[in-house]
Amino acid sequence: MLPNQMVRSLVGKVIRVEMKGEENELVGKLESVDDYMNIHLSNAVEYKNGEKIRNLGTLVLRGNNVILIQPYEE
C-alpha cells in the first residue's frame, strides 16, 4: 500500500501527527488529506510528553512539515 493510500484510509479516525522541528505532537480527527499530504484535522489537541498543552480546534497542516502520521491509541 502506498503512503498516501494508507493515510487516506485513516480519514474519519483520530490520528497523531509529529511535525518537523517540534517537540510537541498533535492529535485530532483526520478530516481530509490531499496528494501533497496536506492534512485537515478537527478537534486537534497539542501534547508534550503525553501531557495536554492546549486545544487547537480545526487545523490545516502543510504536508512538507509532517514527519509522522499514525493512528492514535489512548
Q: Could you read off the pLDDT of 6-38 as tens digits, one per residue?
A: 999 999 999 999 999 988 999 999 999 999 999
Look at the chain and report how many structural domains it folds into: 1
- Residues 42 and 67: their CA atoms lie apart, in Å, by 19
Range of the domain at 48: 3-71
Give, in order, the Cα–Cα distances in Å from 55 to each of 41, 44, 73: 12, 6, 18
Beta strands in 6-65 (DSSP E): 14-19, 25-33, 39-48, 51-61
The CATH code of the domain that includes 9 is 2.30.30.100
* Average predicted confidence (pLDDT) for the chain: 94
Residue whose C-alpha cell reads 474519519 in the numeric block: 12
